[in-house]
Amino acid sequence: MYNTGRHVSLRMDKEHLVNISGGPMTYSHRLEEIRLHFGSEDGQGSEHLLNGQAFSGEVQLIHYNHELYTNYTEAAKSPNGLVIVSIFMKIAETSNAFLNRMLNRDTITRITYKNDAYLLTGLNIEEIYPETSSFITYDGSMTIPPCFETATWILMNKPVYITRMQMHSLRLLSQNQPSQIFLSMSDNVRPVQPLNNRCIRTNINFSMQGKDCPNNRAQKLQYRGKHYSSPPTTILKSDCTLRIVIL
């Protein structure tokens, strides 16, 4: 786990590979990195907005197409190169088991300053996923420079939970090294971008209201500034679920 000066970055070792397929993907993709985005206040911090509202943070699981490309660097600048699964973070009394292991005080204080790193073991990737098979997807770009438009985004339709104390601990992480002035890593998000006629697809059946949809109404996605009218939406087949394989 690293403090990059901009993100909390969790990078997988090469002995425990995690592949993802299904959903909108034609190819299998391999997990390369997990990044955390979060805000200086509870009402901001996610890189996507739903119905004009931001969440306190966003977990991004970044995968590369290992069937077509030999590594992440090659895939990031190539067609069908990346799949990024985004999971919103929401403040609650108890936290997600994966985040609880990652953000407990003994762990998170090990990466307070830029370039700090800590070896974290015993994580179960499956625990970061919320209990839903529903998602929203579109083709877009990475949110960090050079922002190649090679990414398929998959936004899970339920958040995971994080405590106020854990969010406070994230805000105490510095963009700088110890010898430099403290500057919080919070608000490490790209400004919202116009949709530019991108097609937004989903496997959510809006005609069936139920507990699987957080607010029981159609979601309008904003792609990290401008509001726009309801985007074109395509309902995917109901069997378009994501498959995670841990090797």
Neighbouring C-alpha atoms within 13 Å toward the C-beta of 8: 28
Burial bucket for residue 236 (CB in 10 Å: 0-12, 13-18, 19+): middle
Tell me if residue 129 is catalytic.
no
Q: Which two tokens stand for residue 38?
A: 């979060």
Query: Which member of 64, 69, 72, 223 is catalytic?
Result: 69
Cα–Cα dist 135/155, whole Å:
5
Neighbouring C-alpha atoms within 13 Å toward the C-beta of 78: 13
Catalytic residues: 69
